[in-house]
Amino acid sequence: MHASVFPLRFAAVAAFAIGASTAVAQPAAPTPLGEGPWVIETETHKVRVSVLTRDLQSPWSLVFLPNGDMLVTERPGRLRVIRDGKLDPTPIEGLPEIVGESIGGLMGLALHPDFERNRLIYFAYTKPNPENDEQRSLAVARARWDGGAKLADVEDIFVAKDWYSAAMAAENNRCCGQGPASGSYGARIAFGPDGKLYVTSGDRNWGEKAQDPSSHLGKILRLNDDGSVPSDNPFVGREGYLPEIYTLGHRNPTGLRFDPATGALWSTEFGPRGGDELNLIEAGKNYGWMLVSQGEHYDGAPKALGERGVEGYVDPVQAWGPGGNPGNVIVYRGELFPEWRGNVFVAAMSRPGALVRVIVDENNKLVREERLLTELEQRMRDVVEAPDGRIFVLTEQSPFASPGAILVLEPAR
């Protein structure tokens, strides 16, 4: 099959104006993914894009196994394996009860740093309250997987203390026209160079909790591999603060990844109307929500402290106007695309979806960005650098249990 060739794309070469309210036209209906492969011209590389599989439903996270196979989570509540480049038609069994409603379900996925020896995998998911079927919380589970059809030794190592429901959302006097309790879980996980597990916990659309140190909502958390609290966490021993908290002031952080070269921790975050963010995460810092935001509250309420430059709060490296909706993030360090080394790539979910290449300087300050793959008009959830330097992107046509695919980017020849 001959590859399709798309024209050179320089959309968004200049950085978005901070706080801009640029509108993005939304297509009337989801666009099916074409057959491919495609050859796409970018500023620096000619890229071949192919489809590995198109038989997933709302794929959320992908990890590479030591033998080159892959594990993938599907948000409705399935764990899949890709062996020798082919999707196994049978999901892996043994998952706990998962609530796959709205924007919840089976989400973040990570391998233990010593996976080859201990075979431990970790996943973040929406957990029902066993004592109240209407309430949900974010949980992180650990399991042993020997490569077969079923997980073993499945156990929750962390459950956020904030059980929440639609009924509670109707009674808690939230301000600013916030969304439903069934969204904003965060639920990305990543092991750091220090061997600790980092977890994003969204505000569940109860933004006031993001500044509450006695709540897990709206935080990035740091755990030992068994779910216990590291003794060097920034708020350990501080009165009124949950000891798992690493940073606070987040809305819905849907991306989390360490730079393999520098160890810097990057995160992406959904804002309300605009104000989507790319952040550098540092221990003990406050990222502002919902006191400081470059987005607009849904009911037009004023921002409590402003948009940026507020003392005591960290501004994002990049902020987008309406239509961003960032997914996961990587810092590319491979050899296949030499001009991209050190660039930050963000999977963007709003249609037309994009793989956003963010160019930063040696101090991680924004230079500009380039939007890739917009021609495919797919929502992009996760981006992963493969061990051989190729880039894998998880896509879907719409946010609710739609057909989903894995795209593979490699140099065109």
Query: Which tens digits make up the pLDDT trace of 137-147?
Result: 999 999 999 99
Give the integer Cα–Cα distance in Å for 75 and 61: 9
Amino acid in position 243:
P
Give the integer Cα–Cα distance in Å for 191 and 122: 10
**356-375 pLDDT per residue, tens:** 999 999 999 999 999 999 99
Structural domains of the chain in order of their starting residue, each with its CATH number: 4-411 (2.120.10.30)
Give 226's pLDDT tier (boundaries 50, 70, 90).
Answer: very high
- Nearest residue to 212 via CA among 228, 235, 193: 235
Q: Which helix (H) or strand (E) holds 156?
A: strand 152-159
> The dihedral of CA 323, 328, 329, 335: what is its sign?
negative
Report residue 49 CA to chain centroid gap: 22
Which residue would you say has higher pLDDT here, 94 or 274? 94
Which residue would you say has higher pLDDT here, 99 or 3? 99
Give the integer Cα–Cα distance in Å for 378 and 184: 21
**115-153 pLDDT per residue, tens:** 999 999 999 999 999 999 999 999 999 999 999 999 999
Give the integer Cα–Cα distance in Å for 90 and 82: 10
Tokens in use for 163? Answer: 């059980």
Query: Omega into 352 within 30° of 0, i.e. cis?
Result: yes
**83-123 pLDDT per residue, tens:** 999 999 999 999 999 999 888 999 999 999 999 999 999 99
Q: Does pTM surpass 0.85?
A: yes
Amino acid in position 98:
I
Give 350's pLDDT tier (boundaries 50, 70, 90).
Answer: confident
The beta strands (E) that lie in 240-291 are given as 245-248, 252-258, 265-270, 276-281
Place of tokens 């030794």: 153
